[in-house]
Amino acid sequence: MTDITPFGDRLESVFAAYGRLCVGVDPHVTLLDQWGLPDSADGVREFGLRTVDAAAGRVGIVKPQVAFFERHGAAGYAALERVLAEARDAGLIVIADVKRGDIGTSVEAYGQAWLTPGSTLEADAMTISAYQGLGSIAGVLEAAERVGKGAFVLAATSNPEAAAIQRAVLQQSSRAGSTVAQAVTNGVIAWNHGRADVANRPLGSVGVVLGATVDLRSSGIDLDTDPPKPGLPVLAPGFGHQGAELRDLQAIFGSLAGGVIVSESRSILGAGPDGLAEAITRRVDEVGVASV
């Protein structure tokens, strides 16, 4: 059997080659109009393919927001399949922003859809919700590991209405006394630490979503002790359009800064199809400086 390269190793290689920027593929209605594209499946396909073309060779990671394709039904999914295939063929790591979550065979089916090699929706990683507990997604994480895929578990998201739940303190759990966000983050760290050859892994293959506009310490996230081993991948929305500043990256993420993926969409996509490549190149340089 061919050796499988863990997702975390591939992510570390991308960091070294292209830096930490992740370009969102988010065909908002307003952006479609700005780009002169129709609000249709054809429009979102063209938007996605142009974004992939501009990203290839300039960054290493793209993150299609599935909702903007899904709103066009079956034709939208066909458009997404084309965009996913083109992105992976271009050598980009593709994070499908799907935020799926459930229990048992249902959540396993979500994992099969997005992480199975050869699936028409195949991505390299997916965003996933552990609202029913980390144990509910264990089957997906195990299956992902077998084929070198990854996952990013929602922990402290940047939408303000989530704070009350994410900062709620667990009463009955092995992590009783922790906030929900803290329990998810520590659970993912523990998962990565329990993998094979942990001492040789630069990054784990399972990460968390931590918003850059969130007060992470108030959410119970430990930013002050030594970085976890292997390093924790952190998908970090909130930079750019949402207001977080790159110069504050180290202050925001503390000891977790080494695994941060800077995820930006509208702040880059707003440059339009003609200015997109230049905007990506400029932001790659800015993220590189902030990550040093």
By annotation, the residues acting in catalysis are 99
Q: Which amino acid is located at 172 in the chain?
A: Q
> Cα–Cα distance between 164 and 50 in angstroms, integer?
39
Q: Which amino acid is located at 117 in the chain?
A: P
| Structure-token match 């935020």, residue found | 99
DSSP one-letter string for 130-146: -TT-GGGGHHHHHHHHH
> Cα–Cα distance between 210 and 75 in angstroms, integer?
32
Q: Which amino acid is located at 258 in the chain?
A: G
Contact 22, 63 (CB under 8 A): yes
Give Cα separations from 149 to 122, 141, 205, 216, 241 (angstroms). 10, 9, 7, 27, 29
Token pair belonging to 62: 């793209």
Token pair belonging to 50: 């142009």
> Cα–Cα distance between 48 and 26 in angstroms, integer?
8
Three-state secondary-structure class, residue 75: helix
User: Sign (positive/negative) of CA torsion 32, 33, 37, 43?
Assistant: positive
> Cα–Cα distance between 253 and 222 in angstroms, integer?
9
Give Cα separations from 143 to 112, 130, 178, 206 (angstroms). 8, 16, 28, 12
User: Residue 204's closest CA among 217, 189, 215?
Assistant: 189
